[in-house]
Amino acid sequence: MFKRFVLFSSIIVFLTGCGTVSTVRTLPPGERALALSLGGPAATLPGIADVPLPYSVLRYRWGIVDNLEAHIGIHPTMLIFGTFGMDLGLSYEFLEQNRGVPSLCAGLNPTMWLNPFNQDGVGAAPSADLVASWYVHQKILVYTGGQAFFQLQEPYIPWAALVGSEFQIGNHLGLGLEIKWYAPLEDSEFRVVNFPISPGHQGAFGILLGVSLYPGGDDD
């Protein structure tokens, strides 16, 4: 039973790692945002094409105090597998951008899941992320960083490196693009799923698209 639980948990950890990083810059106190991301590691779908796995995450974010944000997310794609998944976390921006010196934001974002049809289908997995970001234009934010997940079997701390950007349209809409290198230290050559974009057969590259709504903004 324990082995089945570990296997199920490992699959969930892999899936939840397919979402975009939860927070790049914390929201000001009282501000709200709704973010949707879609994508994942590029995989071969037999008879179709090499495409990013369509994993989705919907998150609601709100600023608590200066430099501190909370967020809660649901994972619609998990429902296809009969599992309800959600994450709940905090992010803190401990360094603000100063010209070429980036903003630095750290987050804790544990994921919880429940599958009522699987006796081992309940649990939680902690995760953490660290992101450096720069505004290169008033409406263009670029960032880089990493996400780490913690599980009960090897690799005990799978992680992903990432780069991304958000393009702001007006004050209420942001369009995001994020590129991830999932598990860059793990051999991916003999996996059940074929990952065609895998430098040296290490890990897998993926692409994620995001849309964010900022209803608290004011029109110019």
User: What percentage of the chain has pLDDT greater than the value 70?
Assistant: 79
pLDDT tens for each residue of 78-99: 888 788 989 999 999 999 999 8
- When pLDDT is averaged across residues 87-115 and rounded to a whole number, the result is 92
Which pLDDT does position 186 carry in this prediction?
80
Check if the beta carbon of residue 80 is closer than 8 Å to that of residue 55: no
Between residues 161 and 189, which one has the greater pLDDT?
Answer: 161
- When pLDDT is averaged across residues 162-176 and rounded to a whole number, the result is 95
pLDDT tens for each residue of 52-69: 678 899 999 999 999 999
Predicted confidence band at 49 (pLDDT cuts at 50, 70, 90)?
Answer: low
Which pLDDT does position 7 carry in this prediction?
42
Q: Which of 37-46, 81-90, 105-114 has the lowest mean pLDDT?
A: 37-46
Between residues 110 and 97, which one has the greater pLDDT?
Answer: 97
- When pLDDT is averaged across residues 94-118 and rounded to a whole number, the result is 90
pLDDT tens for each residue of 123-144: 778 889 999 999 999 999 999 9
Spell out the domains of the chain, with CATH numbers in brackets: 2-213 (2.40.160)
Q: Which residue has the tokens 């750290």?
A: 106
Between residues 105 and 41, which one has the greater pLDDT?
Answer: 105
Between residues 173 and 206, which one has the greater pLDDT?
Answer: 173
